[in-house]
Amino acid sequence: MSVGIIGAYSLKYESRSQLEAWDIMRESIKGVLNSVDKGIDPRDIELVIVSNFSDGYGNLLHSGPLAVDYLGNPSAKAFRVENACVSSSTALYIAYIFLKAGLARNALIVGFEKMSTQPSGSAANEILAKAAHPLEIVA
């Protein structure tokens, strides 16, 4: 079975402090669906993978099911991938495995970050420290 990418979308990289993380995710999903040349029915998407550095930044810890709701296909399976700077490529690889194995016919990968409302100083450092490898932490 061949596997390919039929659509892609990127929001403008800018501070969007007036929006919540879920607003950014919803806009991303709408954008990628509209990017498919011949269109795609959301009911044909069987797998949704949400990918980002950390859902903790946007206080959105249940993003997979929320993405399915925004997609409008309650039968789609969904989960999130958090893998720091390689989250998007990890999500792409996992989707490839699902598609190649015939476990899904179509997959939607949505990535987003909401960092503009993070506090500076110790609170932001605490979030980053939780994501660091123990060998990278400076005492």
Q: Between the CA of residue 132 and those of 2, 44, 88, what are the distances in Å?
A: 37, 38, 18
* Predicted structure pTM score: 0.81
* 9: pLDDT strictly greater than 90: no
List, in order of start, the domains of the chain with CATH numbers.
21-136 (3.40.47.10)
> Which has the closest alpha carbon to 75: 98, 49, 40, 46?
46
Judge whether 36 and 5 are in contact, CB under 8 Å. Answer: no
**pLDDT tens-digit series, residues 111-130:** 887 766 666 666 666 666 66
> pLDDT tens, 17-61?
788 888 888 999 999 999 998 889 999 999 999 998 766 666 677
